[in-house]
Amino acid sequence: MDYMKIYNKWLESDYFDKDTKEELLSIKDDKKEIEDRFYRDLEFGTAGLRGIVQAGTNRMNLYTIRKTSYGLARYFLKNHKDASERGIVIAHDNRNMSREFCMEAAQTFALAGMKVYYFDDLRTTPMLSYSVRKLNCIGGIVVTASHNPPQYNGYKVYGENGAQIMPDVADKVLSEIEAIKDFSDIPVYKEEYASKITLLGKDIDDDFIEAVEKNLIRKEMIGKYAKDFKVVYSPLCGTGRVPVLRVLKDSGFEHVIVVPEEEMPDPNFAGIKTPNPEESVALTRGINLLKKEDADILIANDPDCDRVGVAVKNSAGEVVLLTGNQIGGLLTDYVIEGMKEKNRLADNACIIKTIVTSEFGSDIAKAHGVDVVSILTGFKFMGDKMTQYAKDGSKTFVMGYEESYGYLIGDQCRDKDGVVATLMIAEMAIYYRSKGKTLYEALIDLYEKYGFYREKTNSIYLEGKEGSEKIDRIMKYLRDNTFEKISSIDVLKLEDFKKGVEGFPKSNVLKYHLKDGSWVALRPSGTEPKIKIYIGTHDPSDEIATNKLNEIDKFMLDVVNSIK
């Protein structure tokens, strides 16, 4: 249907509320804005929904939440005989409309005939993942847009294994959503459905905290050095404050200083444009406090507390931001060595990493005799592997991570867990402090042992319908035009995951393996309007590894920018 017809239908139908119509009338002379809001339905992908909170079919609002929830409920009820009784658990973060979206989803699942659990207040994404299995639910939802700017919100969908749903399931859910041709086809919520909705108590929070704290390796060591160790912490105005401060206190950390402006939940994130701990600008206040307090480490979570950013001091006392790959390599070495020391490492232990993650942690794990499993980008694929290993016993999961600052140690949940990652990073930092080293010095020791790994990720934002078409053209061009060299380095092979690579599901990803061990990967983001270019190099010389990285980076940007 033409987008103007859909726009006018929203204005004319009695189904839509007065505030929605007034908002839409305010853009009546902006055809470009109308087109962007109505040219499609907000895309339901493997990460669920994510978009700007506004009126329109291509936006996050009560109506798109209602339609998605009803379609998802129909999927569960059709495909699982016990879905009605097992039900679904719903959590939400601190963003604008998060509570309203949570309750809209809860009411929609209840009227569809499913039992619903929800929380009294904010909860982290890892808490939601944990709760799905703890409550034996058929699935779960967390209302969050993770680290996106304040105007966004989202809706992540989880399966009964506590992991985000896999692509084949997402396709089936999408079919159910698309089968709803009109919003008025969805039944109206009545108070009689309220008996299906249960508010969760604090017992489940206690269970989650206990499960996280079981992953501590050297708790006794924390007590010995805590008096002289300072942690600066920021939840970036999100959900991490309560569980993170609790696990740090329980574990013996005595000096945890919270960034005051970013301590309490705030849908506008205290003026932070993008509350993403991957980006240095989001850590500005934390870094200033780190310097002021002469603290040992800054740790920050994104608003739904599934990612972690870290800043430490180098040997000269200068503040250095660690990359996701560096944190992952450090954790890999620390966790494996620590578990060996405590006789907790299984003979069939494995770590899991994504195909766009550095080989730094992978090479460390292999040197320790631990198997490495590679997956496509997205923790849902990690959760799927963890579920498989739990059933067949073929491997024992130790930890997993991806380059975009997401880590999981232990099996308490099946998604990135910023709570356990914050705790383990703090433990790791105080351990190296006990050895007379900063975390940065420990990193350099690993580089000197295994070689220098340098990585870079470029995100090229291309918004709206035209941007989406441009991303498609870029990927098509690269598939149609093969490279013999990237920069001056021979291309050894190209893996096109859309055509199929053995051992992986099909996905819109290209990965170039270069003769010298460098690599390049490209993929459209599944959650934001951008295409991402990943580059990795490795060399005994840091200078050579860095120079190769810069040369490859320039080559790839020139190619992508030349595509019209």
Kindly list the catalytic residues: 146
Contact yes or no for 365/351 (Cβ under 8 A): yes
Contact yes or no for 414/161 (Cβ under 8 A): yes
Bridge partners (DSSP) of residue 190 are none
Instruction: Please report how many Cα atoms fall inside a 13 Å half-sphere around the Cα of residue 382, on the Cβ side.
Output: 28
3-state SS record for 207-252: HHHHHHHCCCCCHHHHHHHHHHCEEEEECCCCCCHHHHHHHHHHCC
Query: Could you tell me the sign of the dihedral formed by the alpha carbons of 235, 240, 246, 251, in that order?
Result: negative
> Could you give the CA distance from residue 437 to residue 425 in angstroms, rounded to a whole number?
14
Q: Return left, alpha or beta for 115; rule: phi > 0 is left, psi -120 to 50 is alpha, else beta.
A: beta
> Could you give the CA distance from residue 295 to residue 279 in angstroms, rounded to a whole number?
20
Q: Return left, alpha or beta for 114; rule: phi > 0 is left, psi -120 to 50 is alpha, else beta.
A: beta
Q: How far is CA 56 from CA 8, 39, 98, 301, 535, in A?
A: 11, 9, 17, 31, 37
Instruction: Please report how many Cα atoms fall inside a 13 Å half-sphere around the Cα of residue 417, on the Cβ side.
Output: 33
| DSSP character at residue 344 | -
The residue with tokens 């847009």 is 145
CA R_g for the chain: 24
The SS3 call for residue 363 is helix
> Could you give the CA distance from residue 170 to residue 280 in angstroms, rounded to a whole number?
34
Residue 224 burial (CB count, 10 A)? 12
Bridge partners (DSSP) of residue 407 are 401
Which tokens sit at 207? 């269970």
